[in-house]
Amino acid sequence: MGDVRRMIAARAAKEIEDGMVVNLGIGIPSLIPDYLRPETKVFFQAENGILGMGPTPVNNADGDLINAAGYPVTVVPGASYFDSALAFGMIRGGYIDLSILGALEVSAEGDLANWLVPGKRVPGVGGAMELAYGARQLIAVMQHVGKDGSPKIVRECRLPLTARKCVSRIITEKAVFAIEPDGLHLLEIMEGSTLEDIVNSTEADLIIDVS
C-alpha cells in the first residue's frame, strides 16, 4: 500500500510547474516533495503561516517551525512567516496556484468529500474547505477504490461535502482524470492498469481521451 501511495505522489509531482505557489494537504500529498525535480522553483505554503517551506530537517528540529500537519520543516531562501489569518487570506484570495489534497470521494462534477465519514472518528474540517474554495487549481489524490473495493470516483458524493465543483484533476494509482464542463475525462492510464479495470472500478461515466 505504501508503494501505491508513493506511485500516486510521484505522478502528482509532475503537475507542479516552475514558479508555482503550492499547498499540499496531509497524507499522500505530503509525500510529493520527494518526487520533485530538484531544480523546480516552487514555493510551498503552509496554512499555519509559512510561504517557502523546505524539507524535513536532518537534525536540530525546531518546535516553533512546523508544517500544518504538526511536523518539523525548514525554510528556503525567500521564505516568510505570518499569522494564520494572513495565511488563509492568501488561500481564499486566490493566491495559491495549486493545492493537492487527499480525498475520500470525488464526483464527476468535481465535488469533493474529504473531511468526514459519518459514524467514524470525527477529525474536523481543518483548512480543507478554504483550500477547496480558494486555490486556483485543485488536484485530488487518492487510492482508486475503498478498502471494500467500492468506487471513490462517483456520480454524486455520498459522504458530507467539503466543497462543490472544486476539483479540476484526480490522480489515483490507476489513472489521471480531468474534470471539464462536459464531464470526467480519462487522460492517462497508469502503468500496471488497464482501461477495462478503470471503467469497472469507476462509478462515474467517463469520456475516454486515451487510446
Q: Which residues are catalytic?
A: 47
Contact region with other proteins (CB under 8 A), list: 28-36, 39-47, 142-150, 177-185: 39-47
Q: What is the DSSP string of 149-205?
A: S-BSEESS--SPPSBSS---EEE-SSEEEEEETTEEEEEEEPTT--HHHHHHT--S-
Asked if 66 touches other proteins (CB under 8 A), the answer is: yes
Asked if 50 touches other proteins (CB under 8 A), the answer is: yes
Contact region with other proteins (CB under 8 A), list: 61-69, 98-106, 182-190, 194-202: 61-69
CB of 9 to other proteins, least distance (A): 20
CB atoms within 10 A of CB 150: 12
| Residue-level length of the chain | 211
CB of 159 to other proteins, least distance (A): 10
Whether residue 41 contacts residue 118, with contact meaning beta carbons closer than 8 Å, is answered with no
Element (H, E) at 116: none
Whether residue 33 contacts residue 45, with contact meaning beta carbons closer than 8 Å, is answered with no
SS3 113: strand
User: For other proteins, which residue of 109, 160, 189, 206 counts as binding (CB under 8 A)?
Assistant: 160
Handedness of CA 43, 44, 48, 50 (dihedral sign): negative
CB of 211 to other proteins, least distance (A): 36
What gap in Å lies between CA 176 and CA 190, rounded to an integer? 7
Closer CB to other proteins, residue 129 or residue 189? 129
Closer CB to other proteins, residue 7 or residue 22? 22
User: For other proteins, which residue of 8, 12, 51, 103 counts as binding (CB under 8 A)?
Assistant: 51
User: For other proteins, which residue of 9, 68, 171, 175 counts as binding (CB under 8 A)?
Assistant: 68
Residues at the interface with other proteins (CB under 8 A): 19, 21, 41, 43, 45-52, 61-66, 68-72, 75, 77-95, 116, 121-130, 133-134, 160-164
